[in-house]
Amino acid sequence: MMLARAALIAVALIASSAAIAKDYCVTCARDDQGRIKRSPEAKAEFKRENPCPANGRTSGPCPGYVIDHIKPLKRGGKDESANMQWQTIDDAKLKDRWK
């Protein structure tokens, strides 16, 4: 009985590890903290092409909004303007919980 339970736990751990590994981009360039490197030029280009919805500015902060990658970088999305969108902070938090 104990052996069967241990086997089920091991299978569950392996399955959850595989799910985590599937989302982890092993070919992406990383910064010193292990995060996927971002392009400041791509972000600036996005802002020039898509002014902030809150204040209409093309540089600087955008109160209440963040820049979101439509297809996440960790899932093969490109760090380029065409893959970015403005997203409210609340929507970004919901999206992060969903993923």
Q: Which has more pLDDT, 31 or 5?
A: 31
C-alpha dihedral sign at 99, 83, 44, 62: negative
How confident is the model at residue 19, as a pLDDT? 46
What pLDDT, in 10s, does the model give residues 76-86?
A: 899 999 999 99
Q: What is the model's pTM?
A: 0.69
Average pLDDT of span 91-95: 89
Paired tokens of 91: 């929507």
pLDDT tens for residues 9-64?
655 555 444 444 555 678 888 999 988 999 999 999 999 999 999 999 999 999 99
Q: How many Cβ atoms are within 10 Å of 69's Cβ, its own excluded? A: 19
Predicted local distance difference test score (pLDDT) of residue 97: 78
Give which of 48, 51, 40 is closest to 86, Cα–Cα.
51
Q: Measured between alpha carbons, how far is 41 from 81 in angstroms, rounded to an integer?
A: 9
pLDDT at 18: 46
The answer on pLDDT for 99 being more than 70 is no
